[in-house]
């Protein structure tokens, strides 16, 4: 047996920092007069943890915890997600009359869970990380306690989330029974040795369903629109990027390392799920008149694109997926930042109608929203184009040219509902009272960062691409 000593904790240093930060934020919140202090503290903690991520490569606890390039790339997505979410939330929570410091602590713990998922070399660690992430986000979804929609969203998220983790556990049990281990790389070796059997296929299906729930792949997406619409907007922004990316990280590791040798048996199912997801997400988004709900269906559709990376497999596919999720994080958080900006005292600002004539009343906000909508559609020179382009390149390179064609058709459909927002802003006259923007310095900073990055990656993508390839390599 391995001796347990302090040096084993070295690869876990970023996680240790985040765990301490979560507790510290909770304590500071008790004494701080301004709750924003807790938010700033969590950003500072992320900066420290991010500094240690590249210095912490290695395995720990007998391979249960793996810190490598793959996990490091995802951790950066989670850190960016946390920083931007905190910036979005500061003023928004005051408007929603729910300005409690626990919020920031929950965001930190949820991020810690995601980090564990990305680094999980063992299904036990994967399960614990997933639950830490999920339990914190259930509470976040219901954070506005006096709002019926928020608590309804929390209940739906909780029930379906708990159901999906029970499916995950049954899948883990079957794998454990068949291979005698829960270590992902040992499972990979045992699967190569034993080949496919009916119970093993059943466990692959269980695990796929569980990850499908977490990444909101159709037909396991039905919780997403309700939860995304009801949850506080800042939490929706957080949930649509972080937990999704974390689930993709674990999905990729378990399926490509653990079940890699069976890929011919499961890619078929995944192709069907991917096409179904793109269809459901893009087509149902068309009929939404609530922008949060529309963005929820759009995030379902984007999960359908990202899963193409796992279908392609190998370093090339993973790099394309990671690259896509990174870009998706920025553009989606940016779009939600605009939605949050339209929310002010007494005005919900979630209806598509509220965007009518925004270019006349608030040209700056409209221009920023235009960038994000173009990027989500995938129009050059925005980052969204780069993400889709490299994904299609990987898909075609793996010999799935027809699948790339299907994806292009669905992204053409998506142009309808993204550009409708642009049409409302630029081509219609403002109706009734003009909406007031609740722009705060922190929200402005978040908008500035997201807009700049979306345009910068669109114009000069090579550093991100080489980083993703290096990390997947």
Partner 1 sequence: MVPLYWYLWLGGVVFAIGVFGFLARRNIIIMFLSIELMLNGVNISLVALSHYMQDLRGQILVFFIIAVAAAEAAIGLAIIIAMFRNRDTLHADEMAEMKG
**Contact set with partner 1 (CB under 8 A):** 124, 127-128, 131, 135, 138-139, 142, 145-149, 151-156, 158-159, 162-163, 166, 169-170, 172-173, 176-177, 180-182, 225-226, 229-230, 284, 287-288, 293
Which DSSP symbol is given to 287?
A: T
Q: Which long-range contacts (CB under 8 A, 24 or more apart) does 151-154 make?
A: 152/226, 152/230, 153/226, 153/227, 153/228, 153/229, 153/230, 153/231, 154/230, 154/231
* Cα separations in angstroms, 440 against 82, 89, 359: 18, 10, 20
Query: Which pair of structure tokens corresponds to residue 195?
Result: 């080949």
Cα–Cα distances in angstroms (integers) from residue 455 to residues 387, 442, 465, in the given order: 12, 20, 15
* Shortest separation between residue 308's beta carbon and partner 1, angstroms: 27
CB 57 within 8 A of CB 73: no
Least Cβ distance, residue 17 to partner 1 (angstroms): 23
Report how far residue 150's alpha carbon sits from residue 212's, in angstroms, rounded to the nearest whole number: 23
Task: Indicate the residue among 288 and 442 with the shorter CB distance to partner 1.
Answer: 288
Which one, 290 or 361, has the nearer CB to partner 1? 290
Specify the residue, 134 or 437, whose C-beta has the smaller distance to partner 1: 134
Closest CB to partner 1 among residues 416, 426 = 416
The tokens describing 152, both together, are: 């309804």
The smaller minimum CB distance to partner 1, of residues 23 and 44, is found at 23
Cβ-based nearer residue to partner 1, 104 or 392: 104
CB of 170 to partner 1, least distance (A): 5
Provide the 8-state DSSP code for 120: B
| Least Å from the CB of residue 320 to partner 1 | 32
Judged by CB, which is closer to partner 1: 84, or 153? 153
Q: How far is the CB of 80 from partner 1 (least distance, A)?
A: 27
**What is the number of alpha carbons within 13 Å of residue 444 lying toward its C-beta?**
6
Residue 302 and residue 284 in contact, taking contact as beta carbons nearer than 8 Å: no
- In the complex, the smallest distance separating the C-beta of residue 394 from partner 1, rounded to whole angstroms, is 34
Q: Which residue has 């608030």 as its token pair?
A: 362
Give me the least distance between CB of 208 and partner 1, in Å please.
16
One DSSP character per residue, 352-398 reads GGGGTTHHHH-HHHHHHHHHHHHHHHT-TTSHHHHHHHHHHHHHHHT
Write the DSSP string, 227-266. Answer: HHHHS-HHHHHHHHHHHHHHHHHHHHHIIIIISGGGHHHH
Q: How far is the CB of 305 from partner 1 (least distance, A)?
A: 23
When the beta carbons of 167 and 335 are compared against partner 1, the nearer one is 167
């Amino acid at each position: 047996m391995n001796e347990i000593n302090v040096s084993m904790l070295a690869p876990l240093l970023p996680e240790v920092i985040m765990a301490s930060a979560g507790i510290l934020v909770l304590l500071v919140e008790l004494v701080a007069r301004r709750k924003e202090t807790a938010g700033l503290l969590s950003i500072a903690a992320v900066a420290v943890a991010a500094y240690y991520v590249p210095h912490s490569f290695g395995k720990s606890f007998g391979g249960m915890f793996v810190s490598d390039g793959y996990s490091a790339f995802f951790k950066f997505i989670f850190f960016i997600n946390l920083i931007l979410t905190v910036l979005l939330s500061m003023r928004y929570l005051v408007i929603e009359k729910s300005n409690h410091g626990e919020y920031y602590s929950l965001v930190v713990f949820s991020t810690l869970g995601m980090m564990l998922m990305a680094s999980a070399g063992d299904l036990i660690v994967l399960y614990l990380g997933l639950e830490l992430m999920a339990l914190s986000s259930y509470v976040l979804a219901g954070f506005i306690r006096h709002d019926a929609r928020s608590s309804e969203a929390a209940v739906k998220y909780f029930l379906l989330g708990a159901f999906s983790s029970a499916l995950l556990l049954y899948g883990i049990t079957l794998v454990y029974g068949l291979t005698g281990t829960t270590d992902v790389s040992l499972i990979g070796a045992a699967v190569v040795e034993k080949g496919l059997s009916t119970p093993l296929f059943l466990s692959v299906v269980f695990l796929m369903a569980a990850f499908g729930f977490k990444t909101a792949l159709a037909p396991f997406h039905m919780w997403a629109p309700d939860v995304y619409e009801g949850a506080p907007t800042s939490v929706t922004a957080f949930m649509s990027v972080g937990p999704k990316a974390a689930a993709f990280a674990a999905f990729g590791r378990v399926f490509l390392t653990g079940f890699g040798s069976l890929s011919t048996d499961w890619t078929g199912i995944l192709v069907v799920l991917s096409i179904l997801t793109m269809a459901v997400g893009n087509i149902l988004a068309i009929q939404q008149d609530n922008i949060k709900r529309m963005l929820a269906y759009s995030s379902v559709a984007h999960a359908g694109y990202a899963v193409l990376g796992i279908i392609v497999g190998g370093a090339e596919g993973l790099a394309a997926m990671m690259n896509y999720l990174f870009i998706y994080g920025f553009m989606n958080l940016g779009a939600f930042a605009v939605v949050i900006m339209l929310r002010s005292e007494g005005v919900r600002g979630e209806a598509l109608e509220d965007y009518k004539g925004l270019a006349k009343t608030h040209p700056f906000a409209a221009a920023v929203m235009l960038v994000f909508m173009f990027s989500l559609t995938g129009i050059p020179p925005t980052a969204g184009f780069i993400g889709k382009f490299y994904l299609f390149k990987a898909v075609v390179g793996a010999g799935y040219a027809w699948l790339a064609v299907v994806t292009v058709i669905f992204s053409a459909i998506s142009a309808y509902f993204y550009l409708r927002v642009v049409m409302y802003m630029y081509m219609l006259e403002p109706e009734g009272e003009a909406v007031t923007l609740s722009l705060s310095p922190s929200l402005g900073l978040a908008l500035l960062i997201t807009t700049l990055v979306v345009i910068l990656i669109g114009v000069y993508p090579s550093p991100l691409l080489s980083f993703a390839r290096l990390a997947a390599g």
